[in-house]
Structure 1
Amino acid sequence: MRPVAVVPYRDGWPADFAELAGRLRDALGAEAVAVDHVGSTSVPGLAAKDCVDVQVRVRAVDRARQEPLLAAIGFRCRPEPWNRVEVSGGRECRKLVFAPPPGARSCNVHLRRADGPNSRFALLFRDYLRADGAARDGWGAFKQRLAASVPDLFDYGRIKAHATQVLMAGAERWAASTGWTVDGPDDPR
């Protein structure tokens, strides 16, 4: 059993992302259309697991081309089936997830098609929670209660995935009411 620790927001997470993003851009070169700080550590004030999520938007997910580039800097392609495909917007989307080199800062590097609904989902999640303090605080409190009552990481993730769908219904309403769209190529945070 792998325990779950959800911690208060840490001011150092954007700098951790920036360092990772630079290494990933250098390693992937033209393969990387954009490198985004996503997930809970990308939202100022949001409690999160101390694991930085990075989304690399690519033109096409191509393990044969991309895995050697990341392996050259020590990143390992995750073998689990759920790290190869995800459903977003009712569509099955290919992806690759990479773990950091042993002993390095905890992170997940997600390679997704730049124009894929799963790429949009990650950006909308981030931007909605950055814009709506009540949603951010409610989501953080939910994750802290869940981690306290369901300490196994796998079970925590499965339960949180269902709750995320409820959160994202609000995010979609927010996107429609504000005219939100996927914007620029890189997240500066």
Structure 2
Amino acid sequence: MLLVDETRETRTRRRDDVTDLELVGGVERRDLFLVEHDPAWAVAYATHESRVRDAVGGGVVDVQHIGSTSVPGLAAKPIIDVQLTVPDITAEEDYLEPLLAAGYVLRVREPGHRMIRTTERDVHVHILEPDDPAADDHLLLRDHLRVDEADRRLYEATKRDLVARDWADMNAYADAKTAVIEEIKARARDQRRRARSRRT
């Protein structure tokens, strides 16, 4: 789960953010499996990007396709992950209420993060503020995996190993990937630093 970055607490917000995790519907046990990359995922993402933008209107800062379905050549769970950034996570009336009215349902409310999904549970929309480090991390990981074949293979092998195990819920599976994700992100940050230093 996401953690609050205390350096961002000076932001002007309409109200205090939530302080606890609310997992709407409680822990869920779902069948976990990977399928080969499907170009239709990009089409599905584009449909939901339009749906999100139409619902939230001017309250959108950015919408991005994240997660494994956004990486060509990477096997993934067939769940589209969308990242929506909004100016104020506490102003749920500006984004959450319109998205629920558009047919999404709330799954997670926690400090700095909301997650909604389709009733079919095949699309997850993660809502963050634009300067949340997690928002940058999602794009860093995606962009790195799109170009680094060795790390893409490592990540897929890790996922294939983990998905073969028995998990109480998807969050436990996601948490088990943390170590390899952090390892890959460290390499991606190092490559980004080197690329920036070459440009200066």
Q: TM-score normalized by structure 2?
A: 0.77
Deviation, 1:3, is 2.1
The answer to whether the aligner puts 1:114 opposite 2:143 as a matched pair is no
The answer to whether the aligner puts 1:5 opposite 2:33 as a matched pair is yes
CA distance in 2, matches of 1:169, 1:76: 34
Structure having the larger proportion of residues in strand: 1
The higher radius of gyration belongs to 2
Q: CA RMSD in A?
A: 1.8
Deviation, 1:15, is 0.5
1:185 corresponds to which residue? none
1:88 corresponds to which residue? none
Verify the 8 A CA contact 1:36 1:55 in the aligned structure 2: yes
The answer to whether the aligner puts 1:99 opposite 2:125 as a matched pair is no
What amino acid is aligned across from residue 99 of structure 1 in structure 2? R
Deviation, 1:157, is 1.5
The answer to whether the aligner puts 1:145 opposite 2:161 as a matched pair is yes
Q: Between Structure 1 and Structure 2, how many residues are aligned?
A: 167
The answer to whether the aligner puts 1:43 opposite 2:59 as a matched pair is no
The answer to whether the aligner puts 1:159 opposite 2:176 as a matched pair is yes
After TM superposition, the runs of 4+ consecutive aligned structure 1 residues lying more than 4 A away are none
Unaligned runs of at least 5 residues, structure 2: 1-28
1:129 corresponds to which residue? 145
Verify the 8 A CA contact 2:155 2:180 in the aligned structure 1: no
Deviations 1:129-168 (A, max 9, x none): 1121111121112101110134543331221123322221
For residues 14-25 of structure 1, the aligned pairs below 5 Å read 14-25=42-53
What amino acid is aligned across from residue 52 of structure 2 in structure 1? L
Q: SS state of the match for residue 114, structure 1?
A: coil
Q: SS state of the match for residue 72, structure 2?
A: coil
Moved more, 114-123 or 44-53: 114-123
CA distance in 2, matches of 1:155, 1:71: 26
1:71 corresponds to which residue? 100
What amino acid is aligned across from residue 178 of structure 1 in structure 2? A
Unaligned runs of at least 5 residues, structure 1: 86-93, 181-189
* Identity score, percent: 32
Q: TM-score normalized by structure 1?
A: 0.82
Verify the 8 A CA contact 2:56 2:94 in the aligned structure 1: no
What amino acid is aligned across from residue 137 of structure 1 in structure 2? R
Q: SS state of the match for residue 9, structure 1?
A: coil
